[in-house]
A and B are shown apart, each in its own frame.
Chain A
Amino acid sequence: MWFNAEEIKETVEMIQEQRLDIRTITMGISLRDCIDPDGNKLARNIYRKITDSAGKLVDVAGSLQKKYGIPIVNKRVSVSPIAAIAEAGKLSDYVPIAKSLDRAAIDIGVDFIGGFTALVQKGMTPGDAKLIGSIPQALSETERLCSSVNVASSKAGINMDAVLKMAEVVKETAERTAGQDGIGCAKLVVFANIPEDNPFMAGAYHGFGEPDKVINVGISGPGVVRAMLEKYPDADLLRLAELIKETAFKITRMGELIGRESAALLGVKPGVVDLSLAPTPTPGDSVAQIIEAMGIERCGAPGTTAALAMLNDAVKKGGAMATSSTGGLSGAFIPVSEDLGMVEAVEAGALSIEKLEAMTAVCSVGLDMIVIPGDTSVETIAGIIADQMAIAVVNHKAAGVRLIPSPGKVEGERATFGDLLGFAPVMPVSKFSCANFVRRGGRIPAPLTSLNN
């Protein structure tokens, strides 16, 4: 036989017991050829381009899932930033475009559609301002739409006017979706250094440097890494790093296989494999529990940042060997509500927003899916976003902030979003004000990249 029994058993166990899956196949679609000054025509063009391009996406994913016996959890679409695509039109706001995107997503059966996006790290055009102003209504009146706004980059610095504006948008989006604990904010991310080829939501959009259509794949597999580490409780850290690399290699190969084949079947270019460990609320499928399997009693205890740094680096090293097309966010995700181990760590008092912020300095996302009290001020939200943007800008990495100021909720309560979005306890925020800082406006200049000590 080509494969020995151990190898076959390992693969089958990864999928059946350790919940290895392909987290998402995301088709990126350029909407540049849809631009039209007539708003109705623009919406129609967008609907047609998406349904024509990705109409078979769900069927292809289903057939590959059966052929290889590996679950493909999400099918998604990302599109060109709508702020740019709609700008030439005469629409007073972009809610009709949001609805057209949502309808296209529902009609082709994909789980999410991303790209209700503006890139404003250095300033805003009229189209950017209209898009940002449309976000609360757009997210409260659609089902599958995701929105992202890039407010900072290592080359441009941090647009603090945009940070404050986005804090207002986050707050209003939460209030408009108060009936579901502020779920609109789970579909809205404020970014620094946003990647153009990220397959993960809510930050997926189709960048201007991308081809007309492309397939990007996001892998998963925290459960596989945890199960591997638990087999070696006495291994030293160098050995652990090696084990994580080996496992990341195997997981990423699945992404490479599915990415190549789905792109060929759909007749589009294969894009990137995003080498991320993406947790879900299912027990065991947790990044926090990997850190705990490394020897930390509870995620958030001293040593957590070091453990996460090692995990993140080893995942990249193993994954980079498995595919030549890495991209997206690539690293370990540390959302709170989507990771049962993180939720338990918060409820045990081990994990705070401040510790999570430190952890974001060494991994691939930012403060993600964190529920804060509903009465948190716009200025405090802006301050939290600005801190995260600063970490990303100075460290030349991507980071997104998904905060949910859950209306009416206070510390000690929980907000529930369901499915992959999970639930989370309300985390306390600092009682001290940053209003005079964030209300200054203007831009924090780009950091110096030499004299780097």
Chain B
Amino acid sequence: MKGKAIVTVLGKDRVGIVAGVSRVLAENNVNIEDISQTIMQDFFTMMMLVTVDEDEISIADLQKKLNALAEELDLKITVQHEDIFRYMHRI
């Protein structure tokens, strides 16, 4: 079953953040549909809309794999099913 999720990446800017996150997503067959990324005062903020094939990896397991990368690059990475944003921001 395919579901959409939002990946949020926050932390100090450095080389390889986009590459690192994209690599973990690609390895788990997670497709990136949209990316928004800005840097404000050295602070890196990225949001990705992704499609997760939940037969292949659950959002919880994807979060675990991204946590490992987050630790390595000193970032905060969160994966959340898109419905939480839909419920909060759309009537």
Q: Spell out A's residues near B (CB within 8 Å).
A: 1-5, 7-12, 16, 63, 66-70, 250, 253-254, 256-257
- Per the bound structure, the CA–CA distance linking A250 and B85 in Å amounts to 10
Contacts of A253 in B (CB 8 A): 87-88
Is B47 in contact with A5, judged by CB distance below 8 angstroms?
yes
A-B contact pairs, 24 of them (CB 8 A): A1-B34, A1-B36, A2-B34, A2-B49, A2-B86, A3-B6, A5-B38, A5-B47, A8-B47, A8-B85, A9-B45, A10-B89, A12-B8, A68-B81, A68-B84, A69-B63, A69-B78, A69-B79, A69-B80, A69-B84, A250-B88, A250-B89, A253-B87, A253-B88
Is A1 in contact with B89, judged by CB distance below 8 angstroms?
no
- Per the bound structure, the CA–CA distance linking A5 and B46 in Å amounts to 9
Q: Spell out B's residues near A (CB within 8 Å).
A: 6, 8, 10, 33-34, 36, 38, 45, 47, 49, 58-60, 63, 76, 78-89
Known A-B contacts A1-B47, A2-B49, A9-B45; the reply to A254 vs B87 at CB < 8 A is yes
In the complex, which residue of chain B has the Cβ closest to the Cβ of A1? Answer: B34
Known A-B contacts A5-B36, A8-B47; the reply to A254 vs B84 at CB < 8 A is yes
In the complex, which residue of chain A has the Cβ closest to the Cβ of B6? Answer: A8
* Count, A-B residue pairs, CB within 8 A: 75
Interface centre among B45, B81, B89 (most CB of A within 10 A): B89
Contacts of A9 in B (CB 8 A): 8, 45, 47
Q: Which of A1, A16, A67, A70 contacts B49 (CB 8 A)?
A: A1
A21 CB, min distance to chain B CBs, angstroms: 12
B51 CB, min distance to chain A CBs, angstroms: 12
In the complex, which residue of chain A has the Cβ closest to the Cβ of B5? Answer: A67
Task: Give me the 5 closest cross-chain CB pairs, A-B, nearest first.
Answer: A66-B60, A69-B80, A1-B34, A253-B87, A257-B87
Task: Report whether over half of chain B's contact residues are helix, strand or loop; otherwise say mixed.
Answer: strand
Task: Report whether over half of chain A's contact residues are helix, strand or loop; otherwise say mixed.
Answer: helix
Q: Which of B58, B59, B88 contacts A11 (CB 8 A)?
A: B88
Contacts of B85 in A (CB 8 A): 2-3, 7-8, 11
In the complex, which residue of chain A has the Cβ closest to the Cβ of B63? Answer: A66
Known A-B contacts A67-B81, A68-B81, A70-B84; the reply to A3 vs B45 at CB < 8 A is no
In the complex, which residue of chain B has the Cβ closest to the Cβ of A7? Answer: B89
B54 CB, min distance to chain A CBs, angstroms: 10
Is B60 in contact with A67, judged by CB distance below 8 angstroms?
yes
- Per the bound structure, the CA–CA distance linking A10 and B6 in Å amounts to 13
Contacts of B84 in A (CB 8 A): 11, 68-70, 254, 257
- Per the bound structure, the CA–CA distance linking A66 and B47 in Å amounts to 18
- Per the bound structure, the CA–CA distance linking A8 and B8 in Å amounts to 8
A12 CB, min distance to chain B CBs, angstroms: 5
Known A-B contacts A1-B47, A1-B49, A254-B84; the reply to A67 vs B89 at CB < 8 A is no
B80 CB, min distance to chain A CBs, angstroms: 4
- Per the bound structure, the CA–CA distance linking A256 and B86 in Å amounts to 12
In the complex, which residue of chain A has the Cβ closest to the Cβ of B7? Answer: A8
Is A256 in contact with B89, judged by CB distance below 8 angstroms?
no
Contacts of A250 in B (CB 8 A): 88-89
A341 CB, min distance to chain B CBs, angstroms: 26
Is A12 in contact with B78, judged by CB distance below 8 angstroms?
yes
- Per the bound structure, the CA–CA distance linking A305 and B88 in Å amounts to 30
Contacts of B45 in A (CB 8 A): 5, 9
Is B89 in contact with A68, judged by CB distance below 8 angstroms?
no
In the complex, which residue of chain B has the Cβ closest to the Cβ of A70? Answer: B84
- Per the bound structure, the CA–CA distance linking A67 and B49 in Å amounts to 15
B46 CB, min distance to chain A CBs, angstroms: 9
Contacts of B38 in A (CB 8 A): 5
Is B60 in contact with A256, judged by CB distance below 8 angstroms?
no
Contacts of A66 in B (CB 8 A): 58-60, 63
B39 CB, min distance to chain A CBs, angstroms: 13
- Per the bound structure, the CA–CA distance linking A180 and B11 in Å amounts to 43
Is B60 in contact with A11, judged by CB distance below 8 angstroms?
no
